[in-house]
Structure 1
Amino acid sequence: MKPVCPFVKAARPDDNTCKRSGENSVKHQVEPENKLKKEVSNSASTSPKCPFGYDSQTFKIGPLSCMVCQALLFESSKCVPCSHVFCKACISRFSDCPLCGADIVKIEPDAELQGVVDRFIEGHARIKRSANSGKQEEETESKPVIYEDVSLERGSFLVQQAMRAFRAQNLESAKSRLSICAEDIRGQLGKVGNTSELCSQLGAVLGLLGDCCRTMGDASSAVAYFEESVEFLSKLPKDDLEIQHTLSVSLNKIGDLKYYDGNLQGARSYYFQSLNVRRDVIKHTSNVPAQALDVAVSLAKVADADRNLGDEKLATDGFQEAIDLLESLELNSEASRLDHRRQSVIEFLRGQLSNKQEHVEPTI
């Protein structure tokens, strides 16, 4: 019988914002959206301004946005007869126009508008004005325009748009924006080498691409993205808690995909790698309850794989170790949300031990 992940029906501590096991956790891997917001420092130029008002740090529904997913248009499609335009994936779910309520007779591609969107993305945040651009007397047609690669700002914008599309289940749009972002970062890596910041950004974006593919049902592509994410994140210093958490989550996601595919040995290997990453973290942050919860979740994953591999003794020991760890945590009154998660995991772990006792009951 094909094994079933023990966290499928419950909110998984790794992905506690998900409704299903195949959906993405954006709580930790959306961190690049924050990190990518750092502006490229250049005292001799002003920050780029978007003519349409789009900004990587603020919410904006502009003229090139889809009113359904609230992200930039992707595969722009026009409703007939009302002519309102949406993403193809978004409007395909409706029989009436979401804006005016008119019956949709048919949907036509709007290649011209999509071309405008694509050109906008290509040029977004790549233009900087000269240092004297603020002086009105120099605002002439011949004023020089400086083109620079400020892809960190552009990357933040793309991640923002991708996450909006992802939340609206416009997955092809999200994947497209993240792919552009990944290529931008790869270009920077080729110029300046494997810096910690760029490797961290690329590792996180690749993880988001893996989540897109996993939700789309493309497990092989998801594994490839997660593995590449692990490769880059493994190059980074081990004292950054967010990086280590993202690394451990990527390892767990590879394990999950192998678990669902019936490859229990492969799943256990990745779960165990994630457990080791989390154990290393907790050695240096023993006073952070969230890290202990991460370790307990990894122990449960490894133990579940052990049970399905037929090693009941090892599985029981793993479940009990996780329970002991969580019961030893001391949480203050302000950590009620974390305590709720802890109790949920403890309840699950105790259930696994009860299942074990039922399974070993002799039948005569």
Structure 2
Amino acid sequence: MSSLCPFAKATTGGGGVCPMKSDKNSSTVKSNKNDSSSVCPVTGKNNGEEHKESGTDHAGEESPDPRMVPAKCPFGYDSNTFKLGPLSCMVCQALLHDTSKCKPCSHKFCKTCISRFKDCPLCGADIEGVEPDPELQALVDRFIDGHARIKRSLAGGGVEEVDGKSKVIYEDVSMERGAFLVQQAMRAFRAQNIESAKSRLSMCAEDIREELKSAEDNLDLCSQLGAVLGMLGDCCRTLGDASSAITYYEESAEFLSKLPTKDLELVHTLSVSLNKVGDLRYYGGDLQSARSYYARSLSVRQKAVKEHPSVASQVIDLATSLAKVADVDRNLGNQDAAVEGFEEAIKSLEKLNLDSEQAGLEQRRRSVLDFLHKQLDSK
């Protein structure tokens, strides 16, 4: 599972701005760039609603617009940095999942995380037992719901008059929630808390599916769902559930196939999903099926290179796909086709000239090239 956000192309570079926000073509509602994420699920309040809409403060400066005042959470949640305070697990650094309490010290962690330890990671006390903490887990669940909300766009007239006072209207926006859940999932995945990652990604996928019911042709939502489904496939693969992994990868490819092939990032993600299905079929012994998926990935990459012949990463991807197809051909007894595939891949890589600024790609090119030469030498 990649540590990069699947929607990195939408990053605005503002540091605290979520990289998974939909762009202007998305059907979801946008927040103002200065808005915070929501009311706190515990207090049900935000600090800005009690201020007057206009006027000056005691220093003579213009007071902030009440519709722009960030909501504050007593747990220290920051919508820009996703700091979770006591709702995070100190082991995986992600939102608590299956919250469990150590006995006798009462420190709390994700169930999966704490199961790896004999001593409490926080205080060092011997762990005599672990028990669920449903109260804290319920608060975590409320936290997710509460911070999946943003202020409605002012341009959309999202401020109502209640008893002569302005009232900010909040409403759910699944991609805001999705950004949060995907970030937590990636943290959990890196820390090997796969169940937590899978749970958060499943919630995100459900949100996007719900959005798609009323926006079937929204390409942003399709690309986001395709990326999330690919991550779910990675989780299942890591857990050893090859069947579910294949299902997720295939569905990911289905959604990504609907998108324009001009976006190289999406082309890469699509081809990787197809290759991962091929890998699972290959190691499962179904060589014909594996070759079918490798060939589909190869076709996607051939089109990409034809349209973008100067993009080095696409050429290396193409050579990798040629190698995968050739390897299966050799295992199926098609030696001539295998040699032809390996040689074509070698030619494409040897013609590729990389400058000093592409050191990472050069290392990858060399690695694939060495593999290809070894395959020919071993025939």
TM-score category, normalised to shorter length: 0.7 to 0.9
Q: CA deviation at 1:125?
A: 2.6
Residue of structure 2 aligned with 1:307, choices 325, 330, 354: 330
Give the 5 Å matches for 1:167-246.
Answer: 167-246=190-269
User: What is the alpha-carbon distance in structure 2 between the residues aligned to residue 130 and residue 290 of structure 1?
Assistant: 39
CA RMSD of aligned residues (A): 2.5
8 Å CA contact 1:71, 1:165 repeated in 2: yes
Identity among equivalent positions (%) equals: 64
Distance 1:80 1:309, change over 3 A: same
Q: Give the structure 2 partner of residue 247 of structure 1.
A: 270
Counterpart-to-counterpart distance in 1, 2:121 and 2:142: 27
Distance 1:30 1:316, change over 3 A: farther
CA gap of 1:28–1:286, structure 2 versus 1, over 3 A, is farther
Q: Which amino acid aligns with 1:296?
A: A
Q: 1:37 aligns with which of 18, 21, 32?
A: 21
The one-character-per-residue Cα deviations of 1:282-318 (angstroms, maximum 9, x if unpaired) are 1111111111000000000000110111111111111
Aligned in 2, Cα 1:56/1:260: closer, same or farther, shift over 3 Å? farther
Is 1:265 paired with 2:288? yes
1:169-208 CA-to-partner distances (Å, cap 9, x unmatched) read: 1111101100110111111111222211000000000000
**Structure 1 residue 164, shift from structure 2 partner:** 0.3
In the alignment, which residue of structure 2 is the partner of 1:346?
369
1:233 is displaced (CA, Å) by: 0.5
Secondary structure of the 1:63 match is helix
Q: 1:123 deviation in Å? A: 2.4
Match of 1:71 in 2: 94
Q: Tell whether 2:118 aligns with 1:91.
A: no
TM-score, normalised to structure 1's length? 0.84
| TM-score (norm: length of structure 2) | 0.81
3-state SS of paired residue (2:131): strand
Offset of 1:214 from its aligned partner? 0.6
> Partner amino acid for 1:303?
A
Return the offset for 1:124: 1.8
Partner of 2:51: none
Give 1:335's aligned amino acid: Q
- Aligned to 2:261, what secondary structure does the other structure show? coil
**1:97/1:30 Cα in 2 relative to 1: closer, same or farther (>3 Å)?**
farther
Could you tell me how far 1:121 is from its partner in structure 2?
Answer: 1.1
AA aligned opposite 1:153 = E
8 Å CA contact retained: 1:178, 1:208: yes
Q: Secondary structure at the match of 2:368?
A: helix
Match of 2:319 in 1: 296
2:319 is aligned with 1:335: no
Structure 1: which amino acid aligns with 2:327?
Answer: D
Tell me the SS of whatever aligns to 2:285: coil
Supply the distance in 2 between the matched residues of 1:255 and 1:197 (Cα, whole angstroms): 26
2:177 to 138, 151, 154: 154
Alignment of 1:310-321 (within 5 A): 310-321=333-344
Q: Report if aligned partners of 1:300, 1:319 keep a CA contact under 8 Å in 2.
A: yes
Q: Does 1:48 align with 2:37?
A: yes
Look up the match of 2:142.
119
What residue identity is the alignment partner of 2:30? S
Q: 1:204-249: CA deviations, max 9, x gaps?
A: 0000001100110111111111111111111111111111110000
Q: Which runs of 5+ in 2 are unaligned?
A: 12-18, 24-28, 41-72, 155-160
SS in 2 for 1:79: strand
Indicate the residue corresponding to 1:14 in structure 2: none
Between 1:49-58 and 1:249-258, the stretch displaced more is 49-58
On the 8 A contact 1:56/1:160 being kept in 2, the answer is: no
Q: Is the 8 A contact 2:257 2:270 kept in 1?
A: yes
Specify the code of the residue in structure 2 equivalent to 1:173: S
